[in-house]
Amino acid sequence: MASPLSFLGGFKLTFQHLSRPRVTVSYPQEKRPKQPRQHGRHVLNRYEDGMEKCIGCELCAGVCPANCIYVRGLDNPPDHPVSPGERYGYVYEINYLRCIHCDLCVEACPTQAITESKMFEFSFTNRSDAIYTKAELLVDDQGFPKHLPWEDWREGEAEMTGGWMRATSPSGDANYEGVVQWTGDLGAGVRAPEAGQSGRRDDEKTGSKQLRRAFYKHLQPEDVNDDQRGVAALLNDVRSKMPRRFRKDHS
Amino acid sequence: MNWLSSIDPLFLHGVTGVVILIVLIKIVVGFSVLMGSVTLMIWFERKAISDMQSRIGPQRWGPFGILQTLADGIKLIFKEDLMPTEADRFVYKLAPYLVLVPALVTFAIVPVGGTLTIGGHQVMLQIANPPVGILVLLAMSGISVYGVMLAGWSSGSKYPLISSVRASAQMISYEAALGITIVTIVLVTGSLSTHDIVTSQAHGIWHWNVIRLGVVPFVIFWMAITAELHRPPFDVVEADSELVGGFNTEYSSFRFAIFYLAEFMNTITMSAIIVTLFFGGPAGWVPNVAHLKWLFPIAWFLLKTVAFCFCYIWFRAALPRFRYDQVMDLGWKRLIPLSLGWMIVVAGFLIAPAWGLVMAAAVLFASVVLARAFEIGTTRSVGADSILPVVGERPLPEDVLRSWSDREEE
């Protein structure tokens, strides 16, 4: 049987909570960090020389379960080609009132032309604004997604577009897990592979490490794993900074 | 001032215009400080409870959201003032003031600090020091029961009525334990006046009533007053998470704000009353600083009061709500016998230690008898001749049920 004074435990717990970090984030002023593989609105990528990646093959439109993509290809003009291939995407429209952000289009794309950014904070006041055309989807001259006036972009959110694509091994082949099979992007160049399950992952470059650090302060002490707590956490932190060959988990 | 003494015989004994002016200033200052501290108390409660629940709490209006109460007040004033068609219009309008005015008046008897000398007049830092003293507290909490009762009754709706019956039953039940505990204090002090109660505790921490009387009266008083205030864990009256509202369900706009205001004002006042009765009021260490000596008792009083206000918030965060039958059990079966027994023992010890021991023995015997009576009451067998069958704990005997159902068929 519980002690008759066990109700004092409630007083102790509530008093301890006075000094604990707050869970609440005051959202419009401050955003919680987004996951690297967040599915947001799409972007149409370019090669490092500025050529568009889209070849107008309409595979994305074919695979789309929500029928939200409309693509029409056209032969490249011979004197000033838009894409390196034979054809290019002449019309590219995505209706965001239909899109379910399943990213099947990203998987289907043979040239990695369409990927998704982490932007989900956009809203419209009429239906025609919901249809993003090529003018809005295509990355700008620096290779970053266009910051449209009705979208809430913050510092650092334009990085890491297409994280989900890089998270998977190409064609599902385990031999290529964590290997870059990714053509260079305008602005970002050849991006590092997303953290996989093997030792070849690079958390530093993909932003996973920063993300974990950012989320850490929102965790309650009881939610933190044993290896991230107290002395063990210190040791783990030191170990993660050591050169790889000294590390215990080196395989 | 002869014309004044013809109005009221009180003015016969050297009451001049300056005295009246000082009293008026005290009232105005007391009223405005209390009103201001209520807004701060509401903010403090919301902020502290959100801290205890790992939330942020009010933060938009003013630094740290300190003006949140003001914003809420402005919002409430501009809301539509609804009145149910079935309402008793006069009583419906009167009831909020029957709750607010006692809350204000009770604070008048609280000694906030020591004595000041202004212009040759000895001024007590206390709005009034009536000879009946602490009885004003009981009288005022009696009147606020009327406010609650009438608010529920005049709403012309059955749910506020049920709630107000529940609320007034709870308040009246705990008033008994409250009164008996106050009797214990009055026995020790030998005076009803709050000023005398405070000065009798002024000689150090061992003279404070909380220690002088044993801790039990303080605990009883604290519990009883928490129930009087309908504060958690005794907030069955308007259990936020379970009921629509309490007796004030039909109230809106500024009338609702008055109930809300009175509730928090009572919380401050009762914290101040606890400090006055048990913790020496403004008593405390005073350094020998010229011209600032009067400030330290006020600071001590404020410190103790804020500590108790914080405790009420802490109760709300830490304790689950009592069931209504548990509230009644605690009040009638435990607090009233305990406070009565303790009062008798204290009275015995005040006459002579031998009498105290005799009384303690008598109280022990009585409590054993009482415990046995409660046991019989909760475990008695239910027969066909039982007047009030115990429902819920065990099924009724079959013959009783059959006799009831037979009766209905006829």
The mean pLDDT of A143-162, rounded to a whole number, is 81
B55 touches chain A (CB under 8 A): yes
Among chain A residues, CA nearest to B58:
A26
Percentage of chain B exceeding pLDDT 70: 89
Residue with tokens 């290779």: A143
Mean pLDDT of B365-373: 91
**CA-CA distance, A194 to A181, in Å (whole number)?**
12
> Mean pLDDT in chain B?
86
In angstroms, the separation between the Cα of residue B50 and the nearest Cα of chain A is 9
Average pLDDT for B81-102? 91
pLDDT digits (tens, 9 = 90+) for B349-366: 999 999 999 999 999 999
CB-closest option in A11, A13, A18 to B51: A18
Residue A250 binned pLDDT confidence (cut-offs 50, 70, 90): very low
Over residues B16-24, the mean pLDDT reads: 82
Give, as one character, the DSSP assignment of residue A21: P
H or E element, residue A16: helix A8-17
pLDDT score at A34: 76
For residues B40 and B290, the model is more confident at: B40
- Contact across the interface for A17 and B319, Cβ inside 8 Å: no
pLDDT tier at B131, thresholds 50, 70, 90? confident
- The 3-state secondary structure of B277-309 reads HHCCCCCCCCCCCCCCCCHHHHHHHHHHHHHHH
Q: Are A83 and A55 in contact (CB under 8 A)?
A: yes
Average pLDDT over residues B356-385: 83
**Is A10 part of the contact surface with chain B (CB cutoff 8 Å)?**
yes
Poorest-pLDDT segment among A67-81, B75-89, B369-383: B369-383
Task: Name which residue leads in pLDDT, B293 or A119.
Answer: A119
- At residue A205 the predicted structure's pLDDT band, cuts being 50, 70 and 90, is low
pLDDT attached to residue A224: 59
Kindly state the average pLDDT of the residues B382-398.
57
Find the residue in B nearest to A219 (Cα): B54
pLDDT at B217 over 90: yes
Contact between B54 and A11 using a beta-carbon 8 Å cutoff: no
A14 contacts on B by Cβ (under 8 Å): 52, 314, 317-318
Q: Find which of A1-5, A56-60, B16-20 is predicted with most confidence, using mean pLDDT.
A: A56-60
Q: What is the pLDDT of residue A197?
A: 47
- Cβ within 8 Å, pair B54-A26: no
For A38-85, write each residue's pLDDT tens digit.
888 999 999 988 899 999 999 999 999 999 999 999 999 989 899 998
User: Where is average pLDDT lowest: A77-81, A188-192, B380-384?
Assistant: B380-384
* Confidence at B45, pLDDT banded by 50, 70, 90: very high
Query: For the CA atoms of B214, B215, B216, B217, what is the dihedral angle to 10 degrees?
Result: 80
Hey, which of A162-171, B31-40, B401-410 has the most confident mean pLDDT?
B31-40
Report residue A202's pLDDT band, with 50, 70 and 90 as the boundaries.
low
Q: Do B54 and A21 touch (CB under 8 A)?
A: yes
Interface A–B counts its CB contacts (< 8 A) at 33
Mean pLDDT value across residues B229-233: 87
For A:118-137, CB contacts with B below 8 A are none
H or E stretch covering B103: helix B89-106
Token duo for residue A93: 């429209």
Q: For B57, which residue in chain A has the nearest alpha carbon?
A: A24
Q: Given A7, A17, A24, which is nearest B52 (Cβ)?
A: A17
Q: Which of A8, A14, A17 to mutate to test the interface with B (most CBs of B within 10 A)?
A: A14
pLDDT digits (tens, 9 = 90+) for B47-71: 999 989 888 889 888 888 899 999 9
Which CA distances in Å does A183 have to A42, A48, A53, A141, A193?
18, 9, 10, 17, 12
**More confident position, B353 or A206:** B353
Spell out the alpha helix ranges (H) of B115-157.
135-154
Q: Which of these ranges, A136-140, B8-12, B232-236, B332-336, has the smallest mean pLDDT?
A: B8-12
Distance from CA of A233 to the nearest CA of B (A): 24
For residue B116, give the 3-state DSSP assignment.
Answer: strand
User: Which one of B45, B46, B49, B56 makes the best mutation probe of the A interface by having the most chain A beta carbons within 10 Å?
Assistant: B56
Mean pLDDT of A137-166: 80
Mean pLDDT across B171-195: 92
Burial of B211 (0-12, 13-18, 19+ CB in 10 A): middle
B216 compared with A19, residue with greater pLDDT: B216
Residue of B44, B46, B47, B52 best to disrupt the A interface, most CBs of A under 10 A: B52
Q: What is the mean pLDDT of residues B27-37?
A: 92
Test the A interface: residue of B46, B312, B314 with most A CBs within 10 Å = B314
The residue among B44, B45, B49, B51 with the most chain A CBs within 10 A of its CB, best to mutate, is B51
CB contacts, 8 Å: B55 with chain A: 22-24
Backbone angles phi, psi at B173, to 5 degrees: -60, -45
- The CA distance from B318 to the nearest CA of chain A, in Å, is 5
Class at the top of the CATH hierarchy for domain A42-197: alpha beta
Using CA coordinates, name the residue in chain B closest to A15: B52
Q: Which of A186-200, B13-27, B119-133 is predicted with the least confidence, judged by mean pLDDT? A: A186-200
Of B336, B202, B203, the C-alpha closest to B281 is: B202
Residues of chain B contacting residue A17, judged by C-beta atoms under 8 Å apart: 51-54
B positions 256-315 inside 8 Å of A (CB): 314
Q: Tell me how close the Cα of B53 comes to any Cα of chain A, in angstroms.
A: 7
pLDDT in the model for residue B136? 92
Cβ atoms B151, B96 nearer than 8 A: yes
Compute the nearest-CA separation of B54 from chain A (Å). 5
Which of B325 and B311 is assigned the larger pLDDT?
B311
Q: For residue A30, what pLDDT band results from cuts at 50, 70 and 90? A: confident
Give the whole-number percent of chain B exceeding pLDDT 90. 46
Q: What is the pTM of this model?
A: 0.77
Phi, psi of A232 (to 5 degrees): -60, -40
Mean pLDDT over each residue of chain A, to the nearest integer = 78
**Which residues have a Cβ under 8 Å from the Cβ of B64 and sit 6 or more positions away?**
B47, B58
Q: What are the residues whose beta carbons fall under 8 Å from the beta carbon of B225, sequence distance 6 or more?
A: B174, B178, B270, B273, B274
pLDDT of residue B403: 72
CB-based burial label for B10 (10 Å; 0-12, 13-18, 19+): exposed
CA of A126, closest CA in chain B: separation in Å? 31
Is A11 an interface residue toward B (CB < 8 Å)? yes
Q: Give residue-wise pLDDT tens across range A100-113.
A: 998 889 888 888 88
CA distances from B42 to A23, B35, B36, B267, B377 (A): 23, 11, 10, 10, 43
